[in-house]
Amino acid sequence: MAKVVIVGSYVVDLMSRTPHMPKAGETVLGGPFSMGPGGKGSNQAVSAARQGADVTMVTKVGNDSFGDDAMANFKKEGIDKTHVTRHTNAATGTALIAVDDRGENMIIVSPGACGQITKEDVLAAEQAFQEADIVLVQLETAMEAVEQAITLAKKYAKPIVLNPAPFQETSDRLLADITYVTPNETEASLMTGIEVTDQQTAQAAAQKLIEKGIDTVIITLGKQGCFVYDGTDEGWIASGFDVDVADTTGAGDAFNGAFATFLASGIKLEEAVVRANAVAALSVTKAGTAKSMPYKHEVDTFISG
């Protein structure tokens, strides 16, 4: 079984539908409202676990009812919560999510406890890094936790997937240690200063990231799929899948958790990207984030069909 270590966030998703995104000063009558587990790190952990990975999660939640829910959810999903710690003062993080009638979303994240993951918290999980097949990180936590995770992964020569979301400035020194980076168009543009609008501009942005020392760049392009480039040719587009969209929230997390799992399972890059696209596509056919992550048998059926 593929062993995946994920250092990242856990927040509670507080989501409401809205007929349209409110303008400044506007109040919109929305609904229905739903609440459930979320956060980029946790969502990616659920995606990985549902694709069959043995997942160790490193995060921090509050000593509150939302934190209790987090621990129960990790147990339900079969995710190792040995290194999920409880903060005595900070509350569990929250995400305020609005989803409009087109399935598009706007999100405000209040990290709370997961914003205070320290390098010591990550170091406490060193044995898990040593035993891992791959390490997956995002930027929804304190940067010191991300840097320590990358340091440990490098120490034990483990491949590293960096999902640079939400965007934070990252040093070239940090990027030089990354095996796979998975920005969307906006994040790739912010990382490189090149606005990504098509395959040509995606290639230019990917080349700039390769020059920083990253091995492989995967720029996710929503329903179009993703652009893949390792610096050896012109790159290629892994096409997306045409599905009925209910809610795009969490699609990137679905992709990343699955992608890391497939790589850790020994699946070649080309197939791993296509299968991860399928996982992301299935996730947007349902409302919510973690709860919308498909299971392995659903993905197998979808692809074979």
**10-residue block means of pLDDT along the chain (305 residues)?**
96 93 93 92 98 98 96 97 95 92 87 95 98 97 96 98 95 96 97 94 96 97 91 89 89 97 97 96 91 96 90
d(CA 228, CA 124) in angstroms, rounded, equals: 34
d(CA 44, CA 38) in angstroms, rounded, equals: 9
Q: Is 225 annotated as a binding residue?
A: yes
Whole-model pTM over 0.85: yes
Q: Are 141 and 7 in contact, with CB atoms under 8 Å apart?
A: yes
Q: Is 277 annotated as a binding residue?
A: yes
Q: What is the pLDDT of residue 288?
A: 83
177 classed as catalytic = no
Q: Are 232 and 225 in contact, with CB atoms under 8 Å apart?
A: no
Contact partners, residue 99, CB within 8 Å, separation at least 6: 15, 16, 17, 18, 105, 247, 248, 249, 287
Pick the CATH number of 3-21+29-304 from 3.40.1190.20, 2.60.40.10, 1.10.287.1080, 3.40.30.10: 3.40.1190.20
Q: Is 292 annotated as a binding residue?
A: yes
Domain ranges in the chain are 3-21+29-304
Catalytic residue among 233, 242, 253, 300: 253
Q: What is the pLDDT of residue 224?
A: 86
